[in-house]
Chains A and B, each alone.
Chain A
Amino acid sequence: MIIVQQKPLNEIFEMTKNLKSLLIVGCDGCASIIQVGGERQAQVLKTLLEMEKKVKGEETPVIKAISILRQCDRQVAATALNPLREDYEAILSLGCGVGVQTISEVCKPTLIIPANDTKFLGMHDTRKGKFQELCSACGECILFETGGICPITRCAKSLLNGPCGGQSKGKCEVGGGKNDCAWILIFNSLKDRNRLDLFTKFRPPKDYRLSGHPREIGGEDEDQEVSS
């Protein structure tokens, strides 16, 4: 999942000040599942923004809160938002950075405002009540060789041939010894699976072109024009 976190309210207030009308758009995808940017959060944000104006004695803007299936799908976003966008001065998106950019693209020239900071690709560990980054979309997955644990993301140095000398009893030197050393996790995982040969294998230098920005896949065909 893409893990997002709501920005501090003051920041959102600042970006939305002086607006006469605002469309708040939640996303039913990742942001909703982790309860940061779904329909409910959109409604809550609407209430907060209205209260803020009231407290300040300012004119309350017209605010509508909705949520759409997926902000990161151009077609879905366009179909859901095009009938509405002309009625509003700005759109406040509760999606991830991809959702915000997709909406910005299909809802031109309406002003777009992100409500969230996009943090990482990760897992929601409900037992521990935390989110953990697991993949950096490096473009060349080596999880087969590393026992299903990503060193690019979970090793503080993104080492291909760890562990480094900084591990102590399975903990990483970075973060004061609190975090697991990814390479010891990898070692244990491969040992449990009887594949220590994969651990000992040498991995040559990574081709960083594969993770260099910007990246695209496909696109031979002309983009399907979405009617606006």
Chain B
Amino acid sequence: MKQINAGKFVFTGELEPVKTMNLEEVIEGAKILKDHVVAINITDNPTAFGYMNALVPSYMIQKEVGVEAVYQVTTRDRNRLALLSDLLAAGALGIKNVLALTGDHTTVGDTPQAKPVFDLDSATLVYMLRKMIDEGLDLNNNEIKNPPKFNIGIAAAPNADPLEAEILKIERKVKLGVDFIQTQCVYSVEQVKNFLEATSYLKTPILIGIAPFKSISMMKWMVQYVPGIKVPSEIQETLFKAKKKGGKEAVYEANIEIFSELLRGIRKTTNATGIHMMAIGFEWIVPKIIERAGII
């Protein structure tokens, strides 16, 4: 947050603890990202898959690797009591940033029979966080001794259709008081420009989400299933061609080229606060893209 407030163009990264009690991969990923990002998001049961909770890895990357965590918190799996408990624990462990999310519905995950909670939503979670931070109170105005201080982040969908509903929803949360916004992935400078223009009145730092494709099948999956993803056909074609020509390695190379180009475009022609890089499982590509973009 300090660097954002100082007007620096920043990068954040993302790591996903999976269905294991092993922390090695997360730690390794954090080490790769560390020198290139100001903080790393730790996902909270993404797409409603049951994984290790986000708090422990958030703490571990801070402690073991020395990089700040953005602790992602969804309202899908915990009611307001459990959320409060976890947030107090996060404060105790030195977590500085919380990304408040509603979370994907249980039925889209790997345990679709589970009872979805959604006692709060992302907005009411921001509201609860603000009360904790600003007033030292819980939702019922009970005093919290030694309340935590977090920077509060929210997510946004630049490709949402209708966009107006999305913007007003962001406004609703910004009015409660949020410190930063991280967006879903975008694939063209045009998308970024439209979104930043529409949200400029909110005067909140926005980190634009960028997600290179680990493979062609991942791209196909995202295009088909992830709501609001718009991948320009040129990008799709370039990657298809690369795959045909040189297989996996060529796809990686094409990714580096495409996304460093996109990065440069965003940096040069928009006033985005920074970039949120999501390259789950192939974090090594993040430094390569940033280096090739040559914009730090």
- A and B associate in one complex: yes
Q: Return the contact of A202 from the options B105, B123, B160, B227 (Cβ within 8 A).
A: B123
B175 at the interface (CB under 8 A from A): yes
Contact B162 A202, beta carbon cutoff 8 Å: no
A214 to B127, CA, bound (A): 29
Determine the chain A residues whose CB is within 8 A of the CB of B184 once the complex forms. 165
What 0/1 readout, one digit per residue, does chain B (149-188) give for beta carbons within 8 Å of chain A? 0000001010011101110110111011000000010000
25 A-B pairs within 8 Å (CB atoms) are namely: A156-B107, A157-B102, A157-B121, A158-B118, A159-B102, A159-B118, A161-B123, A161-B173, A162-B121, A164-B121, A166-B104, A167-B228, A173-B105, A173-B108, A174-B105, A174-B107, A175-B107, A184-B162, A199-B165, A202-B123, A202-B173, A202-B175, A203-B123, A205-B120, A205-B127
Ordered nearest first, which 10 A-B pairs have the shortest CB separation?
A: A161-B123, A168-B227, A187-B165, A157-B118, A205-B124, A159-B121, A164-B102, A200-B168, A174-B105, A169-B161
Residues of A at under 8 Å CB distance from B?
Answer: 156-170, 173-175, 183-184, 187, 191, 196, 199-205, 208
Contact A161 B227, beta carbon cutoff 8 Å: no
Determine the chain B residues whose CB is within 8 A of the CB of A204 once the complex forms. 124, 127
Contact A157 B176, beta carbon cutoff 8 Å: no
Q: Return the contact of B162 from the options A170, A175, A203 (Cβ within 8 A).
A: A170
Determine the chain A residues whose CB is within 8 A of the CB of B76 once the complex forms. 157
A161 in contact with B169 given A166-B105, A204-B127, A205-B124 (CB within 8 Å):
yes
Determine the chain A residues whose CB is within 8 A of the CB of B124 once the complex forms. 160-161, 203-205
What 0/1 readout, one digit per residue, does chain B (98-125) give for beta carbons within 8 Å of chain A? 0000101101100000001011111110
Contact B127 A166, beta carbon cutoff 8 Å: no
Residues of B at under 8 Å CB distance from A?
Answer: 76, 80, 102, 104-105, 107-108, 116, 118-124, 127-128, 139, 155, 157, 160-162, 164-166, 168-169, 171-173, 175-176, 184, 227-228
Contact B172 A165, beta carbon cutoff 8 Å: no
